Chain A
Amino acid sequence: MRIMSKAETAADRARGGASEHAVELDGVAVRFRTRKRDVTALAEVSLDVPVGEFVAIVGPSGCGKSTLLKLVSGLLKPSSGTVRLHGETVTGPRHDIGFVFQRAALLEWRSAKRNILLQAEMRKMPAEQARRRTAELMEMTGLTGFEDAYPHELSGGMQQRVALCRALLHEPPVLLMDEPFGALDALTREQLNVELNRIWRETRTTVLLVTHSVAEAAYLANRVVVMTSRPGRIAEVIDVNLPPERDYATTVADPEFARVTARIRELLGAGAAAD
């Protein structure tokens, strides 16, 4: 990242035209220095995510899962290695992504609708288009009727739905989700998983989802990236051979689901990522 030759940028551009990959991580490492020692948060991670794929990233706390998303969004710069988004090297905060955090991070002085519209205001999107898209998204996520409700009047699940709508408003080609359902109760979580599966199928967005939940990863993803900690690295990438449209009850009873979850648990070690 420090030195970037002209040849490299040209290669980037050339690749950009033909790239089938939404996200490419190439030998990416993140190290930082504390007063006492050097810490490697992420060691030499390489990963390609094809356009339209749903990738779940699981691993114990401190394995650099969230760091990975920050790198892709450009909110964090790697110490070495290259991050590319649609073939373009990421050098600063990217605007062509949607980001959902564990906490909804809503502005408490704005209604649900106006929280979603924040995205449009910051991007100076045409007002009419933004309003129409907001209405569509709110309907898609079952928020119709709650347009004028304020965040403190909404349950955790509803708040997270608002955050999801906000992240999808500008139709980003890549959606990054950092433990978006981690603070919700198990039932709400399952419900939102089902909704997210549907939204992903409808929008065809590439999704990178960081999660602590083995079941959530296996239910939602095409591929599950299992990471280990200290230093954070990829242990294995598991393909999930399930159809895109996934009924919850049928899917969790599927032998493939059982195989994937068992493999993830095996990789993480017994009890390391209990959910």
Chain B
Amino acid sequence: MVSQGTTSTSGAASSTPAAEQSPDAAVVERGRPPLGERVREGLERSWRPVAMLLACVAAWWAITAAKLVEPYLVPSPGATLDLMVEKWGYIWHHSWVTTYETVVGFLLAAVIGIAAAVVMVYSATIERTLYPILLFAQVIPKIAVAPLFVVWLGFGVTPKIFVAVLIAFFPVVIAMVTGLKSVDPEMLQLSATMGAGPWQTFAKIRFPASLPHLFSGLKVAVTLAVTGAVVGEFVGANEGLGYVIQQANGNLDTPMLFAALLVMSALGVVLFVLIELAERLVLPWHASRRGDAVTTTY
């Protein structure tokens, strides 16, 4: 009934005599499996997505090598890579600008979104008052308001950050409100009988319980923040990947267009992965549970 198979080194809470005494001792093995096993598991899990990516690049290469399309429409992977190496200073500079706008925009969106959600959950009046504004801010096409921000805030990074915030904070609010409301009502009643004040209940029960929802909101938000920053740059900028794309488009420089697109998607992926790592660090209890239910057969 206790751990079988693996030779656990840590967390071996399950092999004490009490486990045998306890009639319904059904503790799941908590020790980490050995390194070799973990590496094998990691490979098993990651070879499919890697293979898929390689297949896509191969297909891209095959299409260009067979000259199915003109090189000025779709450059070959080799040509794109050459260009990236040749102009890495230029690409690096503009990527950095976009990264900065994205990260600052995302962080602001997270802070504003979390604060708004907390206020809305604790006051029905504020929720009713704020909701229409939130919804309005969400449904309005960001590309349409971006020019206004440029008029108001100039050509620098500020209007781009604004667009990123505007686009990214809605998923944070929605996720956080759902999270804060998902708390077991019995848990809150229990807290009341423990003599806990509202702050204690929030800090020890409500907030931690909302974190899984918050993190899924943050993951959506961070990818949207990239879009926001680039949209801001499209409208009026002399820096950033959006600007690079505009320039390359004007010059029919498709290798540069492709290079910018690749960097942009890499940026989104990296930020997404960073949030996911943070989630695993902050919520080990949640990640391990979710692991059990990755696939369902019913």
Q: Is B9 an interface residue (CB 8 A)?
A: no
Dominant SS among interface residues on chain B: helix
On chain B, the residues within 8 Å of A121 by CB distance are 200, 204
A143 adjacent to B22 (CB under 8 Å): yes
A109 adjacent to B11 (CB under 8 Å): no
On chain B, the residues within 8 Å of A155 by CB distance are 24-26
Residue of A whose beta carbon sits closest to that of B22: A142
Q: Is B147 an interface residue (CB 8 A)?
A: no
- B187-201: contact bitstring with A at CB < 8 Å (1 yes, 0 no)? 101111111100010
Cα A15 to Cα B22 with chains together (Å)? 44
Interface residues of A in 76-113 (CB under 8 A from B): 93-95, 97-99, 101, 103, 105, 107-109
Interface locus among B216-224, B254-262, B282-290: B282-290
Dominant SS among interface residues on chain A: loop
Cα A101 to Cα B24 with chains together (Å)? 20
Interface locus among B13-21, B70-78, B230-238: B13-21
A105 adjacent to B187 (CB under 8 Å): yes
Q: How many residues on A have C-beta within 8 angstroms of the other chain's C-beta atoms?
A: 39
A109 adjacent to B186 (CB under 8 Å): no
Q: How many residues on B have C-beta within 8 angstroms of the other chain's C-beta atoms?
A: 37
Q: Is A239 an interface residue (CB 8 A)?
A: no
Interface residues of A in 149-170 (CB under 8 A from B): 149-150, 152-158
On chain A, the residues within 8 Å of B184 by CB distance are 103, 105
Chain B residues within 8 Å of A, Cβ to Cβ:
11, 13-14, 16-19, 21-28, 30, 184, 186-187, 189-196, 200, 204-205, 208-209, 283, 285-286, 288-289
Chain A residues within 8 Å of B, Cβ to Cβ:
73-75, 93-95, 97-99, 101, 103, 105, 107-109, 118-119, 121-123, 142-150, 152-158, 187-188, 191
6 A-B interface contacts by CB (under 8 A): A74-B193, A95-B194, A107-B208, A142-B22, A155-B25, A158-B26
